[in-house]
Homo-oligomer: A and B are copies of this chain.
Amino acid sequence: MGNNNCKDDRAALIVIDMQNGFLEEESSLCIAMAKATVPACSRVIRFAREKQIPVFFVTRIYKEDGSDVEHTRKENWEAGGKPLTKSSKGPLSIEMPAEFTVNSKDFFIVKPRFSAFFATELDLILRRLGVQKIYLAGTTTPNCIRTTCYDGISLDYGVTVIEDCCSSNTLEIQRANMLDMKNIGAKIIDADSFCGESEEE
């Protein structure tokens, strides 16, 4: 990546939970500001592919019986028509935006909880690829982005959050979480910087 970073670091882009069930207002799990980040996410995804940076899509696919829904969310999930299962339709579905043009070179990981590292194979695959630095995009900032950030730092990855590719239910929550992640040593950048930095090489 760019001149301000260690050029020898191998990087990966991790896009979290950008699925209809989190993006569409008809879903009980909708994150208010998430849909507006689709263009910025699409842009960093395209740019990563151009630069041979592996792209990971980490998503939810809840079981129909809800046995893998977070226990604090299960009541809301049931009342809301059980979004994000394989049989969920339309705005409740597991589908990602068509703009992401997912393809067979991308990596796909299903996570059962908040963090992309929690009970998933993400760390194993990143190690195998020699990745030392992860870029985070997706939703929602206070939950899945942030827990992935802390787990990433705990596992000795350099963690960069692409701020305008991440989303919260309010701007206040978004800002407070960016501050905390910056304070603990994550780097906070925007999509321009992600793309521009690499172009400087």
Q: Please report A residues at the B interface, Cβ cutoff 8 Å.
A: 70-73, 113-115, 118-119, 142-143, 147, 150-151, 153-154, 156, 169, 172-173, 176-177, 179-180, 183-186
Question: Of the candidates B72, B113, B176, B186, which one forms a contact with A176 in the assembled complex, judged by CB atoms under 8 Å apart?
Answer: B176
* A180 CB contacts on chain B under 8 angstroms: 142-143, 173, 176-177
Check B185–A113 contact: CB distance below 8 A: no
Can you pick out 26 interface pairs between chain A and chain B where the beta carbons lie within 8 Å of each other? Answer: A70-B153, A71-B185, A72-B153, A72-B184, A72-B185, A73-B184, A73-B185, A113-B153, A113-B154, A114-B150, A114-B154, A114-B184, A115-B150, A118-B151, A142-B183, A142-B184, A143-B180, A143-B184, A169-B183, A172-B176, A173-B179, A173-B180, A176-B176, A176-B177, A176-B180, A177-B180
Given contacts A173-B176, A173-B179, A173-B180, are A153 and B71 in contact (CB under 8 A)?
A: yes
Which of A169, A176, A186 has the largest number of chain B CB atoms within 10 A?
Answer: A176
> How many whole Å from A26's CB to the nearest CB in chain B?
20
Closest 9 CB pairs of A and B: A72-B185, A176-B176, A113-B154, A142-B180, A147-B150, A71-B156, A118-B154, A72-B153, A114-B150
Contacts of A115 in B (CB 8 A): 150, 154
CA distance A180 to B115 in the complex (A): 15
Known contacts A70-B154, A71-B153, A73-B184; 8 additional CB pairs below 8 A are A71-B156, A72-B184, A142-B180, A147-B147, A173-B176, A176-B177, A176-B180, A177-B180
CA distance A64 to B156 in the complex (A): 18
Residues of B within 8 A of A143 (CB): 150, 180, 184
